[in-house]
Amino acid sequence: MKASDTKATLSFSNGGQPVDLPIYKGTLGPDVIDIRKLYAQTGMFTYDPGFMSTASCESAITYIDGDKGELLYRGYPIEQLATNCDFLETCHLLLYGELPNAGQKAKFTDTVTHHTMVNEQMQFFLRGFRRDAHPMAIMTGLVGALSAFYHDSTDITNPKHREIAAVRLIAKMPTLVAMAYKYTVGQPYMYPRNDLSYAGNFLHMMFATPCEEYKVSPVLERALDRIFILHADHEQNASTSTVRLCGSSGTNPFAAIAAGVACLWGPAHGGANEAALNMLYDIQKAGGVDKIGEFIKQVKDKNSNVKLMGFGHRVYKNYDPRAKLMQETCREVLGELGLENDPLFKLAMALEKIALEDEYFVSRKLYPNVDFYSGIVQRAIGIPVPLFTAIFALARTVGWIAQLNEMIGDPDYKIGRPRQLFEGSPKRDVKPISAR
Ligand code: ACO
């Protein structure tokens, strides 16, 4: 961390002793005020539920400029990565800090490819779930269960263990997501195929059956690969912070990633792609484009609790760059499948146009986020709506594990332990039950 010459001085209106706090500069983004010694110096904590102004860690992985609508993985703009690289190159970049050269790419791809099978006993674990279980319920269980199978990679203090756990997680997530899907539709699990790409293999495990040959469509393969790249990391979002906090206790990486899966499930986070598509279905059912005005009115009514799902973001106060790329992919996929006139896509475009011109959304800087279009793409590929968030989890696994390994590799890391402003009862005595 590079200390600035300027210091922040905290003064108190009651004449208490002012304290100087160091300021650090990152390579990009706002400076931070170091308050680690604040409690020792003043006996006070800071209060910031929701982390509105708090940097929870140092990181060199992903940078977002929310005002500009810019997203960089290890310095590279997401637009360049999505256009010039594939998902496994992006994984290499996030994990090791650099894009691979041809030899490194071949080696990394080979390693990931040769870790895609899961222990055969996973099938029996799956059988314990009801057939109508939500895929995220299944994924939370399956990912946590991996720790019971790989005792040789659960020691997070060992860098070799951390690396192999990262590879295993990236390699096995598609297999687990496809298994969760096949289980719910009652079809046989399809084993991974090593001659296919990461995205191609996932399509094969999802949609092939043992009865006939399945041909991977290059357009759909590329679209899925792009979905994976766009969701690969997003700095200190809720699920990543969950993974860091969970992992900070020294728990094994599979357990920490399972915590991330659980957090991602919520509709304010990864569950938004499912919620966005369901919202489009509801508007469609109610009458389609003609009903947009009525729907927007409900969204603006504070008492309705209706939100425009796939809109708004804690960090982006501009168009989410991933949403632009996803809209482009959406057109490509619908074109490939002959669905150019897809009513949901038309509805989404009309809704976006109206919202972007509406004072409510303009004044709050609410723009489409990545989830606004990703659901339409996934639905067109044939992915059922409840599986959307599981696919997000698959893609985000690399970000989670890269961030977890970065934290554990930092010699200064400590268990995460926030403080609180206590507003409950002061100390009191227990009365005998007859006197309560
Ligand atoms: N629809 C309608 N109003 C909204 C929306 C929305 N989607 N998002 C925010 N607002 C309003 C809020 O009501 C608030 O209005 P107010 O100032 O009048 O009270 C204002 O905009 C600011 O929003 P906050 O909720 O304070 O912003 P916050 O940063 O806490 O929330 C969040 C961000 C959770 C993403 C929110 O925008 C949201 O719920 N969006 C819909 C769900 C969604 O798409 N989530 C996906 C996020 S991206 C991802 O995880 C990949």
Quick: pLDDT tens for 99-132.
999 999 999 999 999 999 999 999 999 999 999 9
Of all protein residues, the one whose alpha carbon is nearest to atom 29 of ligand 1 is: 314
Clarify whether 34 is annotated catalytic.
no
Rounded distance, CA 25 to CA 324, Å?
Answer: 31
pLDDT at 345 (0 to 100): 87
Q: Read off the DSSP letter of residue 182.
A: H
CA–centroid distance, 276 to ligand 1, in Å, is 13
Spacing of C-alpha 268 from chain mean position: 11
Q: Return the structure tokens found at 365.
A: 């800087």
Of all protein residues, the one whose alpha carbon is nearest to atom 49 of ligand 1 is: 269
pLDDT at 268 (0 to 100): 85
Rounded distance, CA 40 to CA 12, Å?
Answer: 16
Q: Which residue has the tokens 């599981």?
A: 390
Rounded distance, CA 95 to CA 75, Å?
Answer: 14
Spacing of C-alpha 191 from chain mean position: 26
Amino acid at 324: K
Q: Return the structure tokens found at 384.
A: 């059922």
pLDDT at 372 (0 to 100): 87
Largest CA distance in the chain: 80
CB atoms within 10 A of CB 394: 27
With a cut of 70, list the residues of the chain below it in pLDDT. Answer: none
Task: For the sheet with 2-10, list strands across it.
Answer: 2-10, 19-25, 32-33
Of all protein residues, the one whose alpha carbon is nearest to atom 35 of ligand 1 is: 313
Residue in 236, 242, 359, 366 to alter for ligand 1 test, most ligand atoms within 8 A of Cβ:
366
Q: Torsion angle of alpha carbons 201, 204, 205, 209, nearest 10°?
A: -160
CA–centroid distance, 114 to ligand 1, in Å, is 41
Tell me the C-alpha to C-alpha distance, in Å, between residue 85 and each of 89, 216, 225, 230, 330.
Answer: 6, 19, 10, 11, 19
CA–centroid distance, 317 to ligand 1, in Å, is 11
- Please list every protein residue whose CB sits less than 6 Å from any atom of ligand 1: 268-270, 272, 299, 307-314, 364, 366, 369-371
Q: Return the structure tokens found at 13.
A: 């209106």
Q: Which of 161, 233, 313, 320 is catalytic?
A: 313
Of all protein residues, the one whose alpha carbon is nearest to atom 8 of ligand 1 is: 312
Query: Are the C-beta atoms of residues 74 and 60 closer than 8 Å to each other?
Result: yes
What three-state secondary structure class fits 76?
Answer: strand
Residues 6+ apart with CB under 8 A from 303: none
* The ligand 1 atom nearest the CA atom of 231: 51
pLDDT at 173 (0 to 100): 98
Pairing of strands 19-25, 2-10: antiparallel
Residues 6+ apart with CB under 8 A from 282: none
pLDDT at 358 (0 to 100): 92
Rounded distance, CA 196 to CA 176, Å?
Answer: 17
Task: For the sheet with 62-65, list strands across it.
Answer: 62-65, 70-73, 76-77
Q: Read off the DSSP letter of residue 341.
A: T
Residue in 235, 280, 314 to alter for ligand 1 test, most ligand atoms within 8 A of Cβ:
314
Rounded distance, CA 99 to CA 226, Å?
Answer: 16
Of all protein residues, the one whose alpha carbon is nearest to atom 22 of ligand 1 is: 364
pLDDT at 9 (0 to 100): 97
Alpha helices in 287-421 (DSSP H): 292-300, 321-336, 343-357, 359-363, 371-381, 388-409
Clarify whether 371 is annotated catalytic.
yes
Backbone angles phi, psi at 151, to 5 degrees: -65, -20
CA–centroid distance, 172 to ligand 1, in Å, is 33
CA–centroid distance, 51 to ligand 1, in Å, is 15
Query: Are the C-beta atoms of residues 306 and 299 closer than 8 Å to each other?
Result: yes
Rounded distance, CA 379 to CA 346, Å?
Answer: 14
